Chains A and B, each alone.
Chain A
Amino acid sequence: MAENKRIDPKTGTSTVGHEWDGIEELDTPMPRWWLWTFYATILFSIGYCIAYPAWPLIDRATAGALGWTSHGQLESELSAERARRADLVRALAGMPIEELPAHPDLLAAAEQGGRSAFKVHCAACHGAGAAGSRGYPNLNDDDWLWGGSLTAIEQTLRHGIRQPGDDATRQSLMPSFGRDGILKSEQIDDVVSFVRVVSRQERPSAASRRGAALFATNCAACHGPGGEGKRDLGAPRLSDGIWLYGGDRTSLTDTVTNAHAGMMPAWADKLDPVTIKMLAAYVHSLGGGEAAQPRLAPAPVRR
């Protein structure tokens, strides 16, 4: 084919030697600048191979003269971020959580940090919006099993609920009245009727009046005579509109028969104290947070 090459008289350029139906192609040379750019990219690639990790080996790649790694870059960016937040973290670490509301800037920063940490550590059970679901409390509302002040939330976060092996964990157990034979099936029906009257879902009836007597002997010790609940024991308030396991007849019957003992992990050994404080501040900010209560134990010595 190459023998058919000829000089095109108009342009003075050689053709490539092909011909299709009288159409030929000019063998116009590359522009010089294009070639130089191309050579420059080759030089660049050689320099890159020397400077950066480039050639894959069996279990790693060549190291590169600059010693750059993506892990190293991540670490340096993370440490820069840690340095940026160092002041905030130090301030939070040295401050008892009940003093946070007096420092609006710190509180706002803690809430922001808590919002991020919540999505990572808490959203799996409580939901991304902290709305919870059956068996997992809604943290937006104003009903708290174990207390809704900053200190109470922090305590719950640190030691969890019914966390085995943690001495300071929130601990309580409701008897399984039906399964263990403490109450008979029709007695449970009566108690459920009473509870539904207390929570204003039913009108008083003969069943509820029978249930009132049973409630007083079996339930009032923890849930209070009027079903107002007791936070020291994590006993839910039965006279309100919020139900962790459902307030309808079937759910209540199941709860009284088998009891529930939900569990939340203790986070003290998984997260650092500052993150836990941030989480507490965030949960407290969701709308149901209660005012701080005076701490009974003396405040820890500040460093």
Chain B
Amino acid sequence: MTAHTNVPSPPRLFEARRKIFPKAVSGPFRRFKWAVMGITLLIYYVTPWLRWDRGPYAPHQAVLVDLEHRRFYMFAIEIWPHEFYYVAGLLVMAAIGLFLVTSAVGRAWCGYACPQTVWTDLFQQVERLIEGDRNAQIRLARAPWSAGKIAKRVAKHVSWIAIGIATGGAWIFYFADAPTLARALFNGNAAPIAYATVAILTATTYILGGLMREQVCQFMCPWPRIQAAMMDERSLTVTYKFWRGEPRSHGTKRAQARVPVEPVRPVPSLARLADDPSLLAGPGDCIDCGACVAVCPTGIDIREGPQIGCITCGLCIDACDDMMVKIARPTKLIGYTTELDARAEQAGRPAQPPLRRLLRPRMIAYLAIWSLVGLTMLFALGARTRLDLSVLQNRNPLWVRLSDGDIRNTYQVKIRNMEARPREVEVSLAGIQGLLWDEHGSRATAGHSLRLRVEPDKVAKVQLFVAALADGPPRTDISFSVRALDREGGGDTDHSFFERPETPQ
């Protein structure tokens, strides 16, 4: 029992998060990121407010996911639930497109366009506006609680939550008529689900963009792992050119570093360098200023080589180039390079031309699959019928004997009018000498076809009766056809059976 006293506290089950204070940076990649952020946010906020005239029977919102009526509108395209494979096709295209982008330009999606990146970037900018840049933030974090610190912290979190509300608030406009919902939302009489959705998205935006940030990319998102399998030696990655930068120089060595050196010097490998630093004649270009680490939004050191935490946003390139200019060294000590080009540069060979790199078989295969899916969907979209028929025979009872000895079968018929206008259609019967009528008619008025009016964007459900002579096989294959009577025409056919008793009487 004495053993207990010797038990030390158990080891920590996880590594605590090191808080990251990314420094502001300026440069071409930063400007590009601002532009991408502006465009993506603009698309996100403006899309639900675009109008699209669809006539009197359909909503006028250009992009609308109408869950209540089970319709999905996207400009000129309207998708019904049974056409959901178009959405599946879009998802396949998105996945293949991501593969394509990854093998062409690496994790460009992660670095620029991913909502997690865009919103984190926005949240960090707000943080800088309120608390100041990196150093001020670190000071504030270390400072004891004071009125000023509390005020800044409250301002920051309130701003973040406001962004979260704006994010969640815009999201719900995709699911209902935006102007109507906006009015209802502010008057407090929108559906509870609308407020709940806003609340949930506010919470996720605040937590993911404000509190969790790079942890989402590193621990939650599957994409970096998939990406590791997608990258090859021709994929662009942000690379620290250690053969130029090593060994790093500090303080007094800087004077030495100003001595012009050949920008391209063959270096055996980082491993051999580590074993024998004397392999290099003089100090490298890296002055170990730490600018690349300070600006990194995921808090990594790019000089450790390619790693899963790198979202290839290029901010370290901007920071390093800035420093290289200041110390009069060639820029792009950190830059976008493929592994193949890196090896070529070390060996003093010219880099592969970009077009040849892009036109490799893998890229062509991805592009072919992506285009094939897209073209197939376009073709299907162009050729799809907007009038469709499905017939279900009543199975209980299979047949009914009528007073004059004839046999009647009953069918549940659904006619889908997917156009946004009412249509006159004709339903006809083939495969049997029989008469056709519906609930509003009778056997006396029955004929070989039936005219119906189908409301716009609706499914007409009708019960059809078919009567035929009792003499005949127990089961006859028949078919129902629907034909539009307007100028556009079009139609559909469905098969069913006509059943009779085994014995005529």
Contacts and interface: CB of A to CB of B under 8 A. Distances in A.
Interface in B395-411: 395-397, 400-405, 408, 410
Given A6-B3, A140-B410, A131 B11 contact: no
B505 A247 contact: yes
A72 interface: no
Contacts of A143: 402-403
A105 B298 CA distance: 62
A240 to B, nearest CB: 4
Interface stretch (A8-16, A82-90, A153-161, A164-172): A8-16
Most chain A beta-carbon contacts within 10 A, residue among B13, B395, B439: B439
Given A6-B3, A291-B442, A138 B11 contact: no
Given A143-B403, A240-B404, A285-B439, A201 B10 contact: no
Contact of B3 (A5, A129, A200, A288): A5
Nearest to A229: B403
B3 A11 contact: no
B376 interface: no
A14 B403 contact: no
B7 A129 contact: no
A142 B402 contact: yes
B396 A131 contact: yes
A14 B11 CA distance: 12
A241 interface: yes
A93 interface: no
A13 B397 contact: no
Nearest to A6: B3
Contacts of B7: 7, 13-14
A101 to B, nearest CB: 8
A277 interface: no
A278 to B, nearest CB: 16
Interface string B1-35: 10110111011010000000000000000000000
Contact of A14 (B4, B402, B443): B4
B401 A241 contact: yes
Contact of B10 (A2, A13, A128, A240): A13
A162 interface: no
Contacts of A31: 13
B390 interface: no
Interface string B411-425: 000000000000000
A131 B499 CA distance: 15
Contact of A7 (B3, B396, B410): B3
- The binding surface of chain A is classed by DSSP as loop
Given A14-B7, A29-B10, A285-B463, A140 B397 contact: yes
A131 B402 contact: no
Interface in A179-226: 200-201
Contacts of B8: 7, 12
A292 B1 CA distance: 95
A287 B467 CA distance: 11
B465 interface: yes
Given A14-B7, A285-B439, A129 B396 contact: yes
Interface string A26-54: 00110100000000000000000000000
Most chain B beta-carbon contacts within 10 A, residue among A6, A127, A286: A286
Contact of A287 (B4, B395, B408, B505): B408
A99 interface: no
A107 to B, nearest CB: 9
Contacts of B400: 131, 138, 140-141, 287-288
A63 interface: no
B399 to A, nearest CB: 9
Nearest to B10: A29
B394 interface: yes
A242 interface: yes
Contact of B6 (A7, A131, A247): A7
A14 B3 contact: yes
Contacts of B401: 138, 141, 241-242
A201 B504 CA distance: 11
Given A2-B1, A13-B10, A287 B410 contact: yes
Interface string A116-160: 000000000001111100000010111100000000000000000
Interface string B453-474: 0000000000101000010000
A28 B505 contact: no
A129 B505 contact: no
Given A5-B3, A13-B7, A14-B7, A240 B410 contact: no
Contacts of A29: 10
Interface string A269-295: 000000000000000011110010000
Contacts of A201: 505
Contacts of B442: 291
B397 to A, nearest CB: 4
Nearest to B406: A241
B293 to A, nearest CB: 31
B404 A241 contact: yes
A130 B3 CA distance: 80
B505 A241 contact: yes
A104 B341 CA distance: 75
A12 B3 CA distance: 12
Most chain A beta-carbon contacts within 10 A, residue among B13, B394, B402: B402
A109 to B, nearest CB: 13
A29 B325 CA distance: 55
Contacts of B408: 140-141, 287
Q: Which 8 A-B pairs have the closest CB atoms?
A: A129-B396, A131-B397, A240-B403, A241-B405, A5-B3, A140-B400, A14-B7, A143-B403
Given A2-B1, A138-B397, A285-B463, 12 more contacts: A2-B3, A7-B8, A13-B11, A28-B10, A142-B443, A237-B403, A241-B403, A247-B505, A287-B400, A287-B408, A287-B410, A288-B400
14 contacts: A2-B1, A11-B11, A127-B396, A131-B400, A138-B397, A141-B400, A200-B405, A240-B405, A241-B401, A241-B403, A242-B402, A285-B439, A287-B463, A288-B400
